[in-house]
Structure 1
Amino acid sequence: MPRPRRTVRSGLRRSALGRPALRRACVVALVGVSALSLGAGTALATDATAGDQRIAHYLGTRFHPLTGQASGEVLDAASGRVVWSSGAGAQLMPASTTKIATAIAALTVLGPNHTERTRVVLKGRNLYLVGGADQHLTGDDVNALADAAATALKKQRHTSVTLYVDDSLFPHVQPTSPGWQPGYVPGEVSSISALQVFGHENVDSALYAGNVFRSRLATHGIGVQSGVLKRAKAPSTATQLVSHVSESLASEVERMLKDSVNDNAEGFARLTALAVHQPADWQGATRAVLATVARYHVPLTGVQLYDGSGLSRSDKMTARALASMAALTVDPRYQSVLKPVLVGFPVAGVDGTLGPAWGRFTTAPTKCAAGKIDAKTGTLTGAIALAGVTRNQQDGRWKAFAFLEEGGFNTTSARNLIDQWATTVEGCW
């Protein structure tokens, strides 16, 4: 059932959130594993499995950055035990792995069944297309709204209207997030708006949607004012003619993660902000996301976010925080809320941004892990990241991992290397 847009629903048991989501066991030297050389700075817990020992051994020999700096951490997801770690507290650019935090926060405060509503309302002869921050509103959806609105207008004997767009749910003019490069809008992301057409990046998303709507109305013989379309907030006394309800937040989050959609991530971050009574700008959004993630006891020391998508080159994340967030996705306590994050993770060598089209997990030595790793990718110029989960072949237990690398490297080579590290965690190589 649709829920009120601003209703705060965590879907989490208070007692569950009162306990650390990841209990970090004291790490002590493992007795009797002299045959395995451990990575620098890594000591295994006394209850480490054979799989843990193998991961620590091989990452100890394979974990070396191409250039610059790299960090990583592997956790036994169920216990929170650190399996292997190297520079896990280093502050590196997370790129689109930031979307993991955004997804967790949105699902937590809004709930997986949350929906957004786009409305068409009428006051006198003034018609308003009102955005509700539907993150997957398509051109077909806008056309369908116009078709239904035209029918409703004709029933009321309206043959001409003055059309306005109302995107007031989010601030119309938003300052660019620190660290966003020139050309990001509309090259990598649309202008952030509560009214936009999915798949169409524009400098003014709301006006684009309004023009699609206006053109469709005209095909039904409804006269609409010519010239530049204008913004106006719909009066509270306006009558709703028609509306369109989005898919569930769960399904929207899955699609956002699978294909790493920047527009969607920024929208979800702002909806999260509104749900916890923060302003729907980048400052309010990042405060809301981090505060919500902190409820799961994710270690956020060193984490700095300036957007919800990871486009900002000023964003800083640690492998420790990312691995901790990844582990939440397979924690039985939170499956009712966070399962869409796991489902949305691209599958190695299968789909999304880890699919064959990107050359991921298609050749030796990583091909053996195809279909066996679920992880979110992150790519910016000079920054590569991968964070997710996999069942280790040796012990059958979920391992959560995060790897980040930053420097002046060839992107394809860096991706291949980071995929090899993830394959090492899976255990087939």
Structure 2
Amino acid sequence: MRVGVGEAGRAAARRARHWTRRWEAQPLHTRRTVRLVAASGALGGVLAAGVITAAGPWDSGQRTAERRTAARADAAEGRTGDADHDSSDGVPAGGAPGDGPQGTAVGAPRVLTPLGPQDGTRPVGTPPTGAGLAEKLAPLLQDPALGSPSTAAVWDVTTGRELYGARETAGVVPASTVKLATGAAALAALGRDHRIPTASLADGGKVFLVGGGDPTLSAQRLARLARATARELKADGVRKVAVRYDATAYAGDVLHEIGPNENIAPVTPLMVNEARLDRARHGPAPRAAAPARDAADAFAGALRKAGVRVAGEPRAARVPEQADELATTYSAPLAALTERMLTYSDNDLGEALARQTAIATGRDPSFAGAGKAVAGQLRKLGLPVRGAEFTDGSGISRGNRVSADLLARLLVTAADPGHPELRPLLTGLPVAGFSGTLRDRYGDEAGGAGAARGVVRAKTGTLTGVNSLAGTVVDADGRLLAFAFFTMGATDRAGAGQALDRMAAAVAGCGCR
């Protein structure tokens, strides 16, 4: 009997949850929360205090100096480190996405170092005033490069209070800054240690490759999965199989509303390296039209190399409930995936994490169901989602609507000691002039914004006519602030981006009395 799309989606979600529970029956290694190391002791109990004099990103987006500081703190308190452990079937769990080595510390401008006056003229960490911020920001909001309307919100992380707002509750198109909401929802629903599985199972002479929704599955990990699968088959005396692949963990449309595009792959739970047809690990790239089939072809080829005869070509089929597990490989922890998504504005991870949230909360793992799941998790966090719309997880859709108030408050919540699971939202933010999508911004040519290089951390968002920036900054008095700036109707993309950068730099450069 044929079932409706909604029922089919719910059935797919049930299957995904069923296999996830089976694959994750063995406890995962517990990881310590990465501490956001902020500017000064004036931040009190909001965040772990410390000084960062050099900070470089790991390939996953974590900051080297922060990880080292956290490791030193853990060692001092007698806690263990957080090395990766292999999965029970002998297939290594995913490390940094893409199987690349983790980055080494590199020289960088000062990142969140003490900036306040040290001569006793004013206490370090004194919060700015709303009037002082308005004096600096109101004129910058009138920059013609921004178009109109523009919205802004600045919050004090220490007190959790709004300091400045300009149309801050208005719903606007957020572009890629919506990934902050996507990441928060996934972390809240699943936890920072969650890993996304890809598994092989056997039933009646067939081997099923089952995708759980890991877009970072690499060719190397897929090959290791095939070798582990071959070992299990041979141990059972099996030398010949037919390969099937199951990509039914998601429901609804496979193509994003923008259609085939180099900025995003077809949204499927089974793909290799985000279906990229080149060797790039982030940014636009040619994409495969049938990622799941391509992954199955590669898996079948690796089985043959491992000494298993494969009959015919791989075909799509749902894995039977009675199928036996052979081997499983896991993604990097959700904390690392979230950081990578934010640092590089990874659209494929945005859609994957939105659907993981839907599966975890019992929603249809489709564009619509994922949007409802994201909104639901933000509501549980006590955030103002009334009027917000989430039509995708990546921010490519112009149907998304969020407010500056929502994203600024989200960042404040991520710094709350009561929500350590959200800390990757802060550690994954690109650093101005140094990493990710802010690497080439905040130069000297940015009209004053260059002074904030290495100080501002923010998620960018850009669509035609839409520019946004949301993140954190330590001001001249050492106060950690969260901000969100949006504009629509801009005709000069570069000019609008520089105007937003000048706003963030203005907050960084003043005590704003």
Assess same fold via TM > 0.5. Answer: yes
Structure 2 residue 496 is matched with structure 1 residue 417: no
1:325 deviates by: 1.1
Matching residue's letter, 2:297? N
The Cα shift of 1:393 comes to 1.2
Sort the Cα spacing of 1:324 and 1:6 in 2 relative to 1 into closer, same or farther, 3 A.
farther
Q: Is the 8 A contact 2:254 2:267 kept in 1?
A: no
Provide the secondary structure at the position in 2 that maps to 1:333. Answer: coil
Give the one of 428, 441, 446 matched to 1:344: 428
Residue 327 of structure 1: CA displacement? 1.6
Matched, 1:387 2:470: yes
Unaligned stretches of 5+ residues in structure 1: 8-47
Alpha-carbon contact 1:55-1:427 (below 8 Å) kept: no
Q: Percent identity?
A: 31
Using a 3 Å threshold, how does the CA distance of structure 1 residues 62 and 136 change in structure 2: closer, same or farther? same
> In the aligned structure 2, how far is the partner of 1:124 from the partner of 1:49?
67
The corresponding residue for 2:292 is 206
For residue 156 of structure 1, report the CA deviation from its aligned partner.
3.2
1:297-344 CA-to-partner distances (Å, cap 9, x unmatched) read 22223311101111101111211111111222222221x211111111
Pairing of 1:106-117 with structure 2 (within 5 A) = 106-117=186-197
2:93 matched residue in structure 1: none
Aligned position for 2:457: 374
Once residues 268 and 127 of structure 2 are traced to their aligned partners in structure 1, the CA distance between those partners, rounded to angstroms, is: 49
Measure the CA separation in 2 of the matches of 1:154 and 1:56: 71
Deviation at 1:89, TM superposition (A): 2.4
2:359 match: secondary structure? helix
Question: Does 2:230 align with 1:145?
Answer: no
Are the aligned partners of 2:473 and 2:508 in contact in 1 as well (CA < 8 Å)? yes
Map of 2:264 onto structure 1: 189
Structure 1 CA distance, aligned partners of 2:503 and 2:448?
A: 10
1:163 and 2:243 aligned: yes
Q: In structure 1, what is the equivalent of residue 384 of structure 2?
A: 299
CA distance in 2, matches of 1:142, 1:291: 34
Give the aligned residue type for 1:209: A
CA distance in 1, matches of 2:359, 2:310: 33
Tell me the matched-pair count.
379
**Retained in 2: the 8 A contact 1:323–1:402?**
yes
Partner secondary structure for residue 423 of structure 2: helix
SS in 2 for 1:243: strand
State the 1:398 CA deviation. 1.7
Q: CA RMSD, aligned part only?
A: 2.4
Matches of 1:318 and 1:112, distance apart in 2? 26
Alignment partner, residue 199 of structure 2: 119
Conserved? CA contact 1:92–1:404, under 8 Å: yes
Whether the 8 Å CA contact 1:253–1:341 is kept in 2: the answer is: yes
Give 2:253's aligned residue: 174
Per the normalisation by structure 1, the TM-score is 0.82
- In 1: Cα distance, 2:487 partner to 2:24 partner: 38
Q: Distance in 1 between matches of 2:452 and 2:428?
A: 18
Report the Cα distance in structure 1 between the residues aligned to 2:215 and 2:150, rounded to whole angstroms. 34
1:50–1:377 distance in 2 versus 1, CA, 3 Å? closer
Q: Is the 8 A contact 1:349 1:362 kept in 2?
A: no
For 2:304, which of 209, 213, 218 is the aligned residue? Answer: 218
Aligned to 1:86: 166
What is residue 137 of structure 2 aligned with on the other side? 59
Any conservation in 2 of the 1:6–1:275 contact (CA below 8 Å)? no
Classify 1:311/1:393 alpha carbon distance in 2 versus 1 (closer, same or farther; 3 Å): same
**Residue 281 of structure 1, CA deviation:** 0.6
Equivalents in 1 of 2:462, 2:368: separation in Å?
23
Q: Distance in 2 between matches of 1:240 and 1:111?
A: 25
> How far apart, CA to CA, are the structure 2 residues paired with 1:380 and 1:370?
24
- For 1:96-115, what aligned pairs fall within 5 Å after superposition? 96-115=176-195
Residues 85 and 152 (structure 1 numbering): CA distance in 2 closer, same or farther, change over 3 Å?
same
In the alignment, does 2:329 pair up with 1:249?
no
Distance 1:197 1:360 in 2: 34
Give the whole-Å Cα distance in 2 for the aligned partners of 1:403 and 1:93.
Answer: 11
Q: CA deviation at 1:289?
A: 0.5
Aligned counterparts of 2:368 and 2:510: Cα–Cα separation in 1: 43
> What is the SS of the residue equivalent to 1:106?
helix
Asked if the contact 1:130/1:166 (under 8 Å) is kept, the reply is yes
Judge conservation of contact 1:354–1:361 (CA < 8 Å) in 2: no
Q: Is 1:270 matched up with 2:355?
A: yes
Q: Distance in 1 between matches of 2:178 and 2:128?
A: 32
Given that 1:102 and 1:269 are in contact with CA atoms closer than 8 Å, whether structure 2 keeps it comes out as yes
Answer whether contact 2:363 2:370 (CA < 8 A) is retained. yes
Superposed CA deviations along residues 186-225 of structure 1, whole A, max 9, x for unmatched, are x221111221112423332211211111222222343323
Change (3 A) 1:194 1:417: same
Counterpart contact for 1:51–1:393, Cα < 8 Å: no
What SS does the aligned partner of 1:268 have?
helix
Give me the whole-angstrom Cα distance separating, in 1, the residues matched to 2:258 and 2:212.
Answer: 28
CA distance in 2, matches of 1:82, 1:57: 16
Shift, 1:424, TM fit = 1.1
Determine which of 337, 355, 358 is the counterpart of 2:439.
Answer: 355
Residue number in structure 1 paired with 2:12:
none
Superimposed CA distance per residue, residues 238-296 of structure 1 (whole angstroms, 9 cap, x where no aligned partner): 22221112221111111111111111111111111111111111111111101110122
- Are the aligned partners of 2:193 and 2:335 in contact in 1 as well (CA < 8 Å)? yes
